[in-house]
Amino acid sequence: MVDLAMGYPKRAVSVKELAKNQRLSIKYLEHIMASLKGAGLIKPERGVHGGYSLARDPNTIRLIELYRAFEGPFSLLDCIGNPNLCQMNEECPTRDTWVEMNEALEKILDRTTIQDLLERKKKLRNSTLAMYHI
């Protein structure tokens, strides 16, 4: 998604280029792209310079959406999302801690955008470019 954000909105990125950049097989990446497309997060672009692009501005795509595209509703443990799954739910001494951790992580995923990750990538690239060795 960060690679797609780098080209947004002017340039689509081919699956071949994405696979190379991310060190993934094309076949595996095609499965990922199908999930992202199904979630409405990316769109295919046809033509000579075709590939995929973000469906929306990277400032509006949150990491929680990516999680949900692959995993469904966010929950660290099945019993957090569905307390009836655990017979010890009523007397579990760690349940409140897990719920608190779940809420904290979900908030982080909800407030972090693809644009945030793109800016982090740019900072990392700039810091490594500024290094030199004698």
In the prediction, which pLDDT does 36 show?
A: 97
Residue pair 66/113 in contact by the 8 Å Cβ criterion: no
In the prediction, which pLDDT does 134 show?
A: 63
In the prediction, which pLDDT does 98 show?
A: 93
Mean predicted confidence (pLDDT) in 92-114: 95
% the chain with pLDDT above 90: 74
Give the CA distances from residue 61 to residues 36, 107, 109, in Å, rounded to whole numbers and listed in that order. Answer: 11, 14, 10
| Strand residues in 18-129 grouped as ranges (E) | 42-45, 51-54
Taken in order of first residue, the domains within the chain and their CATH numbers are 1-60 (1.10.10.10)
Cβ neighbours of residue 73 closer than 8 Å, sequence gap 6 or more: 81
Q: At which residue do the structure tokens 């908030």 appear?
A: 107
**For residue 131, what pLDDT band results from cuts at 50, 70 and 90?**
low
**Closest by CA position to 51, among listed 10, 80, 22:** 10
**Distance in angstroms (rounded) separating the CA atoms of residues 114 and 123:** 14
Q: What tens digit of pLDDT does each residue of 15-33 get?
A: 999 999 999 999 999 999 9
In the prediction, which pLDDT does 29 show?
A: 95
Task: Work out the end-to-end distance of the chain between its first and last CA atoms, rounded to an integer number of angstroms.
Answer: 36
In the prediction, which pLDDT does 127 show?
A: 79
pTM for the model stands at 0.83
Q: At which residue do the structure tokens 């490594």 appear?
A: 128
Instruction: Give the amino acid at 33.
Output: M
Mean pLDDT of the chain, nearest integer: 92
Alpha helices in 40-89 (DSSP H): 63-71, 78-81
3-state SS, residue 131: coil
**Closest by CA position to 32, among listed 7, 4, 11, 9:** 4
Q: What tens digit of pLDDT does each residue of 44-76 get?
A: 999 888 899 999 999 999 999 999 999 999 999
